[in-house]
Amino acid sequence: MLWWEKEHLNEVIKGRYLEYTKTLQFLVSIDLSMNNLEGVIPEELTHLTSLTALNLSQNQLSGKIPGKIGELESLESLDLFVNQLSGMIPDSLSSITKLSALSLSYSNFSGKIPKGNQLQTLDDPSIYAGNALFAEMLG
């Protein structure tokens, strides 16, 4: 059984109750920016392989980026700007070949920026701004 076949999502928009039970696999965009979200980024997000855009910016998320982030093969945009995330950026992020917009600035990431594939083409230093160790490496 696939992950989305046993999970469901409830949503209330403008007083209308919606329940998604078999269509999570088709979800292409999530924007939860500026919602004061706390806690870690759920590893389960990496099961949404049709995602093209994920925006979790300007929240209070902590912990690490899920190691399986590279499984989001369709991802074109990832915005984690201004959170309390820490640790190293997973090497798997460099395997997302469609990624063309990335913002990991103003968190507490440490270590080296993964090399290879798509991340080599995203060489704008503002992607990593506000992470002291990266500022030294980007010079």
Q: Are 59 and 85 in contact (CB under 8 A)?
A: no
Query: Structure pTM?
Result: 0.80
Q: How many residues are listed for the chain in this entry? A: 139
Residue 98 tokens, joined: 């469609």
Rounded CA Rg of the chain: 16
pLDDT band at 47 (very low <50, low <70, confident <90, very high): confident
Query: What backbone torsions phi and psi does residue 116 show, to the nearest 5 degrees?
Result: 110, 155
Q: What is the pLDDT of residues 2-41, one digit of tens each?
A: 444 456 666 677 788 767 666 666 778 899 999 999 999 9
Buried b (16+ CB within 10 A) or exposed e, 68-81: ebbbbeebbbbbbb
Is 32-138 a domain of CATH 3.80.10.10?
yes
Q: What is the pLDDT of residues 101-111, one digit of tens each?
A: 999 999 888 88
Q: How much is the pLDDT for 124?
A: 86
CA angle 42, 43, 45 (to 5 degrees): 75
Using alpha carbons, select from 84, 126, 90, 86 the residue that is nearest to residue 105: 126
Q: Are 89 and 104 in contact (CB under 8 A)?
A: yes
